[in-house]
């Protein structure tokens, strides 16, 4: 384990004393069975310093709602703010059980001035900027909505919308009389609201939802902080994803946004997420709260039985009370016991994941004992209190248990010291030593010949005219642009899950380009990329809606998917730009695959001859990719499709029949 000895000691104490909870009732046997399987942990990081504690939150203040769970979350946020000031530069993971709690903690941390990365999935309705744009869409759908009109009238978009309402009649609408006077700009005036609504509807119909949201987001950007800008970019991603299924009613887009949950990760030191999302991660400091939820949440309505763990289900029974269970045969009663043990095991695994994410410090925050508390509740908090404090009452803001050095961050141990040393040590400037290799033999005596699918472009003979640039742009510039576009596309899994932030794309450009690029040129490329994603032919192919026949399957996206497949005496090695594999949800076996290769050749619109020539040129490469995927997935040829996405004629072409797909 990579945790400090102090953290591992606390983990051992918790899971070796689970049975100390005296109020588990019918869950007691399941807890004991899980505890028997727990093996005492040790850590290889013996020199790491650390600290663990179990502390109680405060009670609600006079000006706060009388809701202890909400107060506990607020208190946890206050503790995170305190820890981030005491130990700057150390990563902090804040773990809860529900996505709703993630959203609430982000709100509290933002209120305390702490920049935090939101890893859980929530709707965008928690963003003030997003709500302004949604009010604009609502006004477009229903010009008489006074709530939406008032919201816009008092928003940062008010001046822009006033100017829109005051535009000359000749620019406003073909069906409006030019003899009517220009209305009062206020959106609270029905005529102004109606004109703005008509113009927004026209913009949605002519430009689409993606470009429209992008246009108004830019006008709202100056009034936004970093988090609001990130939420606007997530809304932009949803807008582009919606294009493929857009209707003529703007309210349908509102309903779409209201049902979509998106993540909002960032590079902040503080990351808030559910325990499930923290699997495989570790943080210098971990704060675990929301421990007062039931050990077992909503139970399944049915219990099932099978002869062995790998056998098919042969018995099903509706979940019943203890009184009804007592009337059933013993073999059927065991079904309920086994179901409880399974549910309890899953629940304890969640607790285990939560407390083993910490490297140096683990802070467990529970609610204080109520005035009427007579025994511990069947919650994570109850289990932890029983194991660490013998189940004693815990007063508000009291530290009921602590272990280790509270000031560990002043000397965290070898890991932090080594990291700082490596980052600040001067680097020696070395002169590159050229190494010249002999040309490879025509036949290799031992190793397989390595062949790249991209090396198969054009087949055995290639005309220079097939690969030359069509618009006179220098090849080096074309390569730079192609490299950057590929890197940006790599950041997109499903377009409806949101687009990467502009700042992220700019930073990525500086990382992948070998030579510097001016801010003006970079912004131009970024605008081109945003416009590219605004085209439904492109954004639609990056959406789940591109695979309607596979709606019941589980779709997995792999960008830059590496392949290494043997073909006779050669080894086919390369990377597929985008591979979408569909898996049967029951068997988990692949049932179809789709290969998408991005090409940045510049082809004039309508030049079908050049486009078809390019498809033929790239066809051997895509056919090699397809053979490799068939070998990897064991799928027949008709279940693996291959397409070329040309960015500058904005066309997606099938390599089989050279038609749009």
The 3-state secondary structure of 79-113 reads: HHHHHHHHCCCCCEEEEECCHHHHHHHHHHHHHCC
Q: pLDDT band at residue 34, thresholds of 50, 70 and 90? A: confident
- Of 269-273, 491-495, 496-500, the poorest mean pLDDT is in 496-500
CATH number for position 560:
3.90.320.10
Q: pLDDT band at residue 439, thresholds of 50, 70 and 90? A: low
Q: pLDDT band at residue 177, thresholds of 50, 70 and 90? A: very low
Residues 207 and 192 in one domain: yes
pLDDT score of 315: 87
- Mean of pLDDT values over 548-567: 89
- Of 359, 386, 408, the residue that ends a domain is 408
487 within a domain of the structure (yes/no): no
- Of 344-353, 489-498, 566-575, the poorest mean pLDDT is in 566-575
471 pLDDT above the threshold of 50: no
374 pLDDT above the threshold of 90: no
Residues 250 and 294 in one domain: no
**Tokens 């985008």 appear where?**
578
- Mean of pLDDT values over 341-346: 83
pLDDT score of 448: 61
Per-chain mean pLDDT for the chain: 83
Residues 288 and 204 in one domain: no
Residues 306 and 382 in one domain: yes
- Mean of pLDDT values over 409-425: 50
Residues 253 and 282 in one domain: no
227, 201 Cβ separation under 8 angstroms: no
CA distance 89 to 86: 10
Report the domain count for the chain.
3
> What are the tokens at 43?
């850590």
128 pLDDT above the threshold of 90: yes
Residues 251 and 303 in one domain: no
Q: What's the burial of 504, exposed, middle or buried (CB within 10 Å: 0-12/13-18/19+)?
A: middle
- Mean of pLDDT values over 303-320: 83
Q: pLDDT band at residue 463, thresholds of 50, 70 and 90? A: very low
172 pLDDT above the threshold of 60: no
pLDDT score of 455: 59
Helix axes 209-220, 519-533, angle to 10 degrees: 140
425 within a domain of the structure (yes/no): no
Residues 87 and 141 in one domain: no
Residues 92 and 150 in one domain: no
The residue that leads in pLDDT, 198 or 374, is 198
CA distance 616 to 612: 6
CA distance 209 to 212: 5
105 pLDDT above the threshold of 60: yes
């Amino acid at each position: 384990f990579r945790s400090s000895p102090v953290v591992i000691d606390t983990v051992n104490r918790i899971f070796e004393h689970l049975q100390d909870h005296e109020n588990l009732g019918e869950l007691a046997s399941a807890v004991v069975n899980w505890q028997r399987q727990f093996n005492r942990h040790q850590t290889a990081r013996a020199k790491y310093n650390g600290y663990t504690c179990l502390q109680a939150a405060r009670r609600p203040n006079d000006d706060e709602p009388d809701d202890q769970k909400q107060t506990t979350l607020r208190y946890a946020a206050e503790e995170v703010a305190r820890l981030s000031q005491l130990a700057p530069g150390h990563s902090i993971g804040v773990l809860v059980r529900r996505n709703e709690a993630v959203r609430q903690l982000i709100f509290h941390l933002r209120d305390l001035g702490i920049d935090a990365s939101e890893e859980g999935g929530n709707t965008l309705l928690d963003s003030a900027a997003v709500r302004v744009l949604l009010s604009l869409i609502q006004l477009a759908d229903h010009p008489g909505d006074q709530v939406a009109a008032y919201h816009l009238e008092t928003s940062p978009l008010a001046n822009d919308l006033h100017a829109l309402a005051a535009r000359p009649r000749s620019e406003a609408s073909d069906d409006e009389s030019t003899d009517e006077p220009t209305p009062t700009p206020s959106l609270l005036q029905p005529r102004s609201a109606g004109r703005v609504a008509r113009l927004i509807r026209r913009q949605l119909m002519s430009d689409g939802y993606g470009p429209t949201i992008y246009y108004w987001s830019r006008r709202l950007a100056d009034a936004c902080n970093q988090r609001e800008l990130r939420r606007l970019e997530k809304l932009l991603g949803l807008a582009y994803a919606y294009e493929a299924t857009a209707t003529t009613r703007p309210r349908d887009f509102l309903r779409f946004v209201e049902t979509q949950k998106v993540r909002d990760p960032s590079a902040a030191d503080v990351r808030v997420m559910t325990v499930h999302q923290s699997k495989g991660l570790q943080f210098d400091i971990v704060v675990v709260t929301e421990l007062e939820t039931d050990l077992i949440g909503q139970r399944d309505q049915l219990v099932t039985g099978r002869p062995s763990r790998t056998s098919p289900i042969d018995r099903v029974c509706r979940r019943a009370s203890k009184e009804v269970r007592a009337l059933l045969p013993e073999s059927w009663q065991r079904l309920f016991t086994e179901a409880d043990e399974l549910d309890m095991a899953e629940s304890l695994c969640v607790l285990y994941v939560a407390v083993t994410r910490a490297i140096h410090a683990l802070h467990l925050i529970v609610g204080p004992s109520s005035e009427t508390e007579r025994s511990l509740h069947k919650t994570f908090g109850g289990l932890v209190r029983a194991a660490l404090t013998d189940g004693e009452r815990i007063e508000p803001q009291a530290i009921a248990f602590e272990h280790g050095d509270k000031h560990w961050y002043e000397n965290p141990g070898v890991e932090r010291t080594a990291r700082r040393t490596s980052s600040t040590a001067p680097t020696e400037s070395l002169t590159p030593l050229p190494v010249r290799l002999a040309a490879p033999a025509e036949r290799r005596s031992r190793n397989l010949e390595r062949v790249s699918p991209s090396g198969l472009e054009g087949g055995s003979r290639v005309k220079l005219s097939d690969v030359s640039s069509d618009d006179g742009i220098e090849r080096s510039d074309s390569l730079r642009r192609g490299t950057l576009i590929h890197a940006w596309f790599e950041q997109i899994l499903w377009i409806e899950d949101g687009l990467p932030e502009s700042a992220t794309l700019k930073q990525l450009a500086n990382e992948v380009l070998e030579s510097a690029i001016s801010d003006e040129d970079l912004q131009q490329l970024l605008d081109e990329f945003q416009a590219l994603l605004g085209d439904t032919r492109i954004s639609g192919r990056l959406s789940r809606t591109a695979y309607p026949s596979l709606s019941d399957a589980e779709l997995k996206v792999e960008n830059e998917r590496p392949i290494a497949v043997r073909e006779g005496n050669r080894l086919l090695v390369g990377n597929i730009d985008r591979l979408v594999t569909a898996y049967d949800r029951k068997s988990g076996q692949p049932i179809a695959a789709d290969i998408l290769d991005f090409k940045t050749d510049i082809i004039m619109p309508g030049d079908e001859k050049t486009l078809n020539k390019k498809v033929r040129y790239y066809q051997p490469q895509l056919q090699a990719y397809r053979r490799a995927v068939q070998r990897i997935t064991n799928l027949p040829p008709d279940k693996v499709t291959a397409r070329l996405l040309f960015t500058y004629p904005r066309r997606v072409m099938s390599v089989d029949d050279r038609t749009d797909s």
